[in-house]
């Protein structure tokens, strides 16, 4: 360690308390390890307790020219976990800053610090404000809400577009100054927490997917619990049915019949979330042989694609939308079901007699649906994390941590226009590229807005199998390149792709670099992150 780094660490300890500067080797190794073969040496993990301590850390970093990489909970699995963009950085872990600063029930918002997790806010609301819902991701309940916003993350309810639901960011700049966005910078502004743009240039976007500042507080809008909630599940018999289905969804979305996300999962995606790779049946080979996949689909009574969505509103609104969805989806689907709390209670009541007569348990079938059902209601769960263990030979442990357990997971997240023909292209590319490297095409899509689709292709593997780390990165690189060739670019990238291949040249890149040099003259904050 250089003497400057040594001095910086002593100053960090003075600023945040020695107990909050972590330098032991296993902790640093964990902090610098992703769910794929990408790691960086982390100098220390520094855990400030409030905004002033963050400012002091930034001043120290400038004084000693030490790089800071902020994370809120550092569980950005599939995109790099907490691994910084450069070697030798100090990981500024904001997990201790986990206060819910304000909860306004009338206007349905919470002002939170970056360490607040989705599980924490969910439990707080359940206990004190049951009329309000959060929007959760399928990742762990221990994931932060702010870190997810910083990556433009998405969820499952009508509030799924997370960036669209925040305002009044408090940001520590790389110089140590602190600003607030929207009206929040004006003392006494009454609409500070309810109107994101304020007046003049809107600054929020500058701090998302960038290295322009450290967000130390923001306001998150919450969803009033609807009078009625109904989940809709459907599946499609064959791949070819995806295209007309997507076109039907677009019509419903654009015309306002559907006002919430629609989720689509291919067969491999569903299987990876309900079971593990059938090593025995596949006789140890990869990727999954077609006949084994077909047999598994018969066992689980599956189609080629499965879909889910939530309906939210009054009794009348939900009833009307269900009727319109039925009319539109029926000719296209293999199965179409609606599920609500009443049906679930009934299934539990009838479980024993039904099992005796028909030999199958409705509750057992429901249990596979429940995590997804809960997510449609903003209930965080860690059950989807088991999909990261798809290729592992051991069962997922009760407390899952894909990074620690050497699960291989790389996400590729192209955005497509909401047209069946485009999704056919994206699916075609993924189903050609992944098997060529020995992986299953695990594909899901979330239709969060009216005109575009968030696609996710997972490269899932076991990091303990020799050679898989290398194949997975090559596979990901080819997938990204093939998608880009066809005009499909990711909305979010992993640390291994930073700075992004596309957009490194030209006037836009020059403008961003000028901004970065201006706000961060010593380049101490997350260098290379998305720029």
Ligand X SMILES: Cc1cc2nc3c(=O)[nH]c(=O)nc-3n(C[C@H](O)[C@H](O)[C@H](O)COP(=O)(O)OP(=O)(O)OC[C@H]3O[C@@H](n4cnc5c(N)ncnc54)[C@H](O)[C@@H]3O)c2cc1C
Candidate segments 14-22, 74-82, 299-307, 427-435, binder of ligand X by CB under 6 A: 74-82
What the block records as the tokens of 172 is 């520590």
Least Cα distance to 405 among 390, 382, 389 occurs for 389
Q: Between β-strands 42-46 and 89-93, what pairing exists: parallel, antiparallel or unpaired? A: parallel
Q: Is 219 in the site for ligand X (CB under 6 A)?
A: no
Q: Is 75 in the site for ligand X (CB under 6 A)?
A: yes
* Binder of ligand X out of 36, 38, 64, 77 (CB under 6 A): 77
Q: Is 498 in the site for ligand X (CB under 6 A)?
A: no
Q: Is 245 in the site for ligand X (CB under 6 A)?
A: no
Least Cα distance to 71 among 59, 80, 62 occurs for 80
Comparison of 120 and 241: residue with beta carbon closer to ligand X:
120
CB neighbourhood size of 432 (10 A):
13
Give the separation between CA 410 and CA 477, rounded to whole angstroms. Answer: 11
> What mask of x and - would describe binding to ligand X in positions 78 to 97, judged by CB under 6 A?
x---x-----------x---
Q: Is 253 exposed, middle or buried (0-12, 13-18, 19+ CB in 10 A)?
A: buried
User: Cβ 451 to ligand X, closest distance in Å?
Assistant: 19
Candidate segments 26-34, 145-153, 245-253, 291-299, binder of ligand X by CB under 6 A: 145-153
Whole-number Cα distances in Å, 461 to 208, 402, 437, 443, 472? 30, 11, 11, 15, 8
> What mask of x and - would describe binding to ligand X in positions 396 to 435, judged by CB under 6 A?
------x------x--------------------------
User: Cβ 490 to ligand X, closest distance in Å?
Assistant: 13
Contact 527, 211 (CB under 8 A): yes
Q: Which of residues 31-70 bind ligand X (CB under 6 A)?
A: 70
Q: Is 384 in the site for ligand X (CB under 6 A)?
A: yes
DSSP annotation string for 106-163: TTTEEEE-TT-BHHHHHHHHHHH-TTEE----SS-TTSBHHHHHHTT-B-SSTT-BGG
Candidate segments 232-240, 289-297, 305-313, 380-388, binder of ligand X by CB under 6 A: 380-388
Q: Is 135 exposed, middle or buried (0-12, 13-18, 19+ CB in 10 A)?
A: buried
Comparison of 321 and 516: residue with beta carbon closer to ligand X:
516
Size of the residue set binding ligand X (CB under 6 A): 34
> Taking the alpha carbons of 522, 523, 524, 525 in that order, is the dihedral positive or negative?
positive
What the block records as the tokens of 529 is 């992150």
Q: Is 76 in the site for ligand X (CB under 6 A)?
A: yes
Q: Is 148 in the site for ligand X (CB under 6 A)?
A: yes
Candidate segments 71-79, 230-238, 253-261, 510-518, binder of ligand X by CB under 6 A: 71-79
Q: Is 146 in the site for ligand X (CB under 6 A)?
A: yes
Q: Is 168 in the site for ligand X (CB under 6 A)?
A: no
Q: Is 150 in the site for ligand X (CB under 6 A)?
A: yes
Q: Which of residues 94-113 bind ligand X (CB under 6 A)?
A: 94
Give the separation between CA 74 and CA 243, rounded to whole angstroms. Answer: 37
User: Cβ 5 to ligand X, closest distance in Å?
Assistant: 21
The DSSP element (H or E) to which 351 belongs, if any, is: helix 341-358
Whole-number Cα distances in Å, 308 to 27, 229, 253, 283? 39, 13, 14, 33
**Residue of minimal CB distance from ligand X?**
147
Comparison of 139 and 175: residue with beta carbon closer to ligand X:
139
* Binder of ligand X out of 110, 220, 222, 385 (CB under 6 A): 385
Q: Which of residues 111-140 bind ligand X (CB under 6 A)?
A: 114, 137-139
Q: Is 215 in the site for ligand X (CB under 6 A)?
A: yes
Least Cα distance to 202 among 231, 181, 174 occurs for 181
Contact 93, 47 (CB under 8 A): yes
User: Cβ 449 to ligand X, closest distance in Å?
Assistant: 14
User: Cβ 523 to ligand X, closest distance in Å?
Assistant: 15
Give the separation between CA 326 and CA 336, rounded to whole angstroms. Answer: 8
Contact 376, 309 (CB under 8 A): yes
| Binding residues for ligand X (CB under 6 A) | 70-78, 82, 94, 114, 137-139, 143-144, 146-148, 150-151, 153-154, 214-215, 384-385, 387-388, 402, 409, 526, 529
């Amino acid at each position: 360690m250089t003497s400057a780094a040594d001095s910086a660490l002593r100053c960090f300890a003075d600023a945040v308390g020695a107990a909050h500067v972590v330098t032991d080797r296993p902790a640093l190794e964990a902090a610098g390890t992703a769910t794929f073969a990408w790691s960086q040496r982390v100098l220390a993990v520094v855990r400030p307790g409030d905004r002033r301590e963050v400012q002091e850390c930034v001043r120290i970093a400038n004084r000693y020219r030490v790089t800071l990489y902020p994370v809120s909970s550092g569980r950005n699995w599939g995109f790099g976990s907490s691994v910084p963009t450069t070697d030798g950085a100090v990981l500024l872990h904001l997990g201790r800053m986990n206060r819910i600063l304000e909860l306004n029930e009338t206007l349905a918002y919470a002002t939170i610090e970056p360490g607040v997790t989705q599980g924490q806010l969910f439990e707080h609301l359940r206990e004190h404000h049951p009329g309000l819902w959060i929007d959760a991701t399928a990742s762990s309940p221990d994931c932060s809400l702010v870190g997810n916003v910083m990556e433009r993350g998405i969820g499952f309810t009508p509030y799924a577009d997370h960036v669209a639901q925040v305002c009044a960011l408090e940001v520590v700049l790389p110089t140590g100054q602190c600003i607030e966005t929207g009206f929040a910078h004006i003392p006494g502004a009454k609409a500070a927490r309810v109107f994101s743009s304020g007046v003049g240039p809107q600054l929020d976007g500058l701090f998302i997917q960038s290295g322009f500042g450290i967000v130390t507080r923001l306001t998150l809008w919450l969803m009033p619990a609807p009078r009625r909630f109904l989940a809709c599940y459907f599946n499609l018999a064959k791949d070819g049915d995806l295209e007309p289905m997507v076109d039907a969804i677009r019509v419903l979305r654009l015309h306002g019949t559907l006002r919430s996300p629609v989720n689509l999962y291919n067969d491999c995606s569903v299987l990876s979330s309900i079971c593990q790779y059938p090593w025995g049946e596949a006789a140890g080979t990869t990727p999954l042989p077609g006949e084994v996949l077909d047999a598994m689909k018969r066992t689980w009574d599956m189609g080629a694609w499965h879909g889910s969505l939530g309906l939210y509103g009054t009794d009348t609104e939900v009833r009307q939308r269900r009727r319109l969805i039925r009319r539109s989806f029926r000719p296209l689907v293999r199965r179409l079901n609606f599920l609500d709390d009443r049906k679930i209670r009934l299934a539990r009541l009838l479980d024993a007699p039904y099992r005796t007569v028909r030999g199958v348990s409705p509750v057992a079938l429901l249990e596979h649906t429940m995590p997804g059902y809960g997510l449609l209601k903003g209930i965080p769960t860690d059950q989807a994390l088991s999909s990261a263990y798809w290729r592992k030979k051991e069962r997922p442990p009760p407390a899952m941590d894909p990074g620690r357990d050497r699960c291989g997971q790389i996400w590729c997240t192209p955005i497509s226009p909401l047209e069946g023909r485009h999704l056919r292209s994206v699916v075609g590319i993924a189903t050609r590229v992944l098997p060529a490297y020995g992986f299953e095409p695990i594909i899901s899509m979330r239709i969060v807005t009216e005109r575009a689709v968030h696609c996710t292709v997972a490269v899932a593997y076991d990091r303990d199998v020799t050679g898989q780390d290398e194949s997975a990165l090559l596979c990901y690189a080819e997938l990204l390149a093939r998608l880009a060739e066809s005009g499909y670019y990711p909305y979010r990238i992993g640390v291994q792709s930073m700075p992004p291949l596309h957009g490194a040249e030209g006037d836009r890149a020059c403008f961003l670099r000028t901004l970065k040099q201006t706000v961060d003259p010593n380049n101490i904050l997350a260098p290379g992150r998305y720029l």
